[in-house]
Amino acid sequence: MWKALQHKNFARLFYAALISEIGTRIHRIALLVLVYTTTGDVLWVSLALGVQLVTTVAVAPVLSAWADGQERRRLMVLSDLGRVLLVPLIPALGMQSPVILLTLIFAIEVLRNIHEPVVLAVIPELIPESDLDAANALMLFTQRFAEVAFVGLAGVLVGLVGAAPAFWIDALSYLLSALILMRLPLFAGAVARPGGYWLRVREGIGFLVRQPAIRRTVGIRFAAAMFGSVESVLGVALAVSVLNVGSTGFGVLEAAMALGAVVGPVLVPKLTERLPRERLFLLGLLAFGLFEASIGALPIFGWTLIAYLFAGQLNMAFIIPARSILQLNTPSELRTRVFAAFGAVMNGAVLIGTLLGGALERPLGVPLVFVLAGLMVAAVAALMLARSGLSSLKTFARVLNTQVSIWHKHSFE
């Protein structure tokens, strides 16, 4: 994985992402604590999270059509600097009025949803294809490492000194990120095509459906995100009501999955050197589904802990190849739009999955929901593996038939 850092410009992108991810994790804990302690109402916590989700699902694909036409280095730097200004306003002004708070959260999420698709769009321009999986693994590593190493520290920090300093730390992280990103080369924006702005928006969303490799990847990832996300809503019920390990056990399980997600990016680039990306994507998804189903089939704490650890690793085994497939099959001028649309689709799938898991928990029980969700993920992957195997057999048969025809023709001559 670390070989990708040999490319200096990608290394700058990586270090900028790592620093800003650390600040973002601290920000998230501080925001939730600040909102709840100030209002005393969980509804406002839900509204704050809801604004973030709606921005990603509904606003990001629309903004990406504009972002794709801009010079990308400037866009990344300005989106960081914008957050440097906005984040400290949350404790300073946001808690004086719910409207101001939600407006600030919305504005910060808009900048994040401009920044992140652009980062994913420029990675293939900074690194050769042979190191693309390693680069994507490193970028995911920044997120998982920040979760494991700094979410707990963020809670301690907020508890000791209050939420306001945490927001200043987040603002500083964006400032440092912007300074590092200024050293990247320029990336020309896409040339505007005739047809107007909304045509550009539809072009990015439609590309998810038109391009065969991307259509397959997005469709499969949608199923995985929808059925795989039941853990996010039922994990605590599994720990408390089924495994009887309480909140401490739930924390240990979540830590195991997070640890697996940190280890996963280290292992996946080695696997992509031995397996085609598409096959690793499907095999990782198949194994993830089986481990998820086993959590419900064997509701024993020791096994569940092991399954969570492997699930975290296998999550990376299909996410990393999926990113590379999208990057390699999307023209540079469309990448920001495609990744923004992809993020919206995946967040929509997660929302459906969490609602579905909550609705099915009472009539079916937590273990059975885990079993069904995991089997659905595995079934989708197995079906696609079978189809790709059948397609390979047909291709082999056509090649063999062609060779036989050539041999037959030459033998008569």
CA 61 to chain centre: 16
The mean of the pLDDT values for the chain is: 83
Which residues in the chain are classed under CATH 1.20.1250.20?
1-189, 197-413
CATH code of the domain made up of 1-189: 1.20.1250.20
Q: Which residues of 335-361 are buried (b: 16+ CB within 10 A; e: fewer)?
A: bbbbbbbbbbbbbbbbbebbebbeebb
- Least confident residue range of 43-47, 58-62, 332-336: 43-47
- How far, in Å, are 25, 292, 321 from residue 265 at the CA level? 19, 20, 11
Q: Which fold has domain 197-413?
A: Growth Hormone; Chain: A; (1.20.1250)
Q: Does residue 404 carry a pLDDT above 50?
A: no
User: Residue 190 — left, alpha, or beta (φ > 0 → left; ψ -120 to 50 → alpha)?
Assistant: beta
Q: Does residue 406 carry a pLDDT above 50?
A: no
313 and 195 in contact (C-beta within 8 Å)? no
Provide mean pLDDT across the span 339-360: 84
Looking at residue 390, its pLDDT comes to 52
Give residue 192's pLDDT band: very low, low, confident or very high (50, 70, 90). low
Q: Is 97 helix (H, G, I), strand (E, B) or coil?
A: coil
Question: Each residue of 315-341: pLDDT tens digit?
Answer: 888 888 999 999 999 888 888 888 888
